[in-house]
């Protein structure tokens, strides 16, 4: 007999539905086999499906993320979505959640009062190191970057926001770059309300272009904080759906804040 499981779809880093990055959230009483988790994520066919199980007492939850093809080590928007479900659908009463994950302990807390809807992720900071620009990068992004940097992910810098928005990447060439996320970024337009903009391409894990990528801001936040000389930054990911992120560098951690909206609640049977 098929086992029913609760299912939620949440638009994260969004001011309302149909914007931001959609994530599936599947709360579990205990871990199912990895093959089943992977099959659920493939069936959902969203950039990420988040699964969590309670750890008992006040220890929080164990959180994992799957793309349609890959279990990933850190995902921001699906963490935000999981926290949204716990706070708004499952009755978690505290102001702050703890998740254990492949990237260590992660925290999500409510900000700005009970009705603001703003949730802040506490994530690791991943400052990148310089890397030589290559011809493959230029082919992959459809334009030659001015500079390149690398950590877990690749960061390629371009002249301005308009260039980043207008990039037409070559997905076949992106597959030649050995990184989970390939990030294009530039300063925001003067007076445009954003310190920097980005787009993120992840074909190696089944995501040609990710709508809004919280984990990429573990790299982007320390980079732009150093480049712009400020620790608080407003960011926009300029995908077709788009998403706004409020970022702050806090030593070896970053705070990444945004809102979320429930699109769907239901039941799946596995």
- Contact (CB, 8 A) for 108 and 80: yes
Three-class SS state of 236: strand
Q: Which two tokens stand for residue 47?
A: 């950039």
173 Cβ contact list (under 8 Å, min separation 6): 136, 139, 140
User: Of these residues, 15, 48, 147, 161, which one is catalytic?
Assistant: 48
- Contact (CB, 8 A) for 181 and 201: yes
User: What's the CA gap between 200 and 181, in Å, rounded?
Assistant: 6
The reply to whether 176 belongs to the active site is: no
User: What's the CA gap between 138 and 179, in Å, rounded?
Assistant: 15
User: What's the CA gap between 154 and 128, in Å, rounded?
Assistant: 8
DSSP 174: H
49 Cβ contact list (under 8 Å, min separation 6): 23, 24, 25, 26, 37, 40, 41, 65, 66, 78
User: What's the CA gap between 183 and 221, in Å, rounded?
Assistant: 13
- The residues annotated as belonging to the active site are 48
């Amino acid at each position: 007999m098929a086992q029913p499981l609760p299912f939620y779809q949440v638009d994260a880093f969004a001011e309302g539905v149909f914007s931001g990055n959609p994530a599936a959230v599947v709360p579990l009483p205990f871990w199912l086999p990895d093959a089943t988790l992977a099959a659920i994520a493939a069936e959902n066919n969203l950039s990420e499906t988040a699964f969590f199980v309670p750890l008992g007492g006040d220890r929080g939850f164990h959180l994992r993320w799957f793309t349609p093809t890959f279990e990933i080590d850190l995902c921001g928007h699906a963490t935000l979505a999981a926290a949204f479900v716990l706070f708004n659908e499952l009755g978690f009463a505290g102001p702050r959640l703890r998740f254990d994950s492949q990237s260590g302990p992660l925290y999500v807390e409510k900000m700005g009062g009970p009705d603001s809807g703003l949730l802040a992720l506490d994530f690791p900071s991943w400052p990148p190191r310089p890397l030589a620009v290559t011809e493959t990068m230029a082919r992959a992004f459809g334009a030659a970057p001015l500079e390149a940097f690398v950590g877990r992910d690749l960061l390629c810098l371009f002249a301005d926001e308009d260039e980043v928005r207008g990039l037409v990447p070559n997905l076949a060439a992106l597959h030649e770059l050995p990184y989970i996320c390939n990030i294009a970024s530039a300063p925001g337009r003067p007076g445009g309300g954003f310190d920097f903009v980005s787009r993120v391409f992840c074909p190696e894990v089944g995501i040609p272009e990710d709508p809004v990528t919280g984990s990429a801001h573990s790299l982007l936040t320390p980079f732009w904080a150093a480049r712009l000389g400020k620790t608080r930054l407003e960011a926009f990911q300029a995908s077709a759906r788009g998403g706004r992120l409020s970022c702050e560098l806090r030593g070896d951690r970053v705070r990444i804040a945004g809102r979320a909206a429930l699109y769907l609640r239901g039941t799946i049977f596995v």
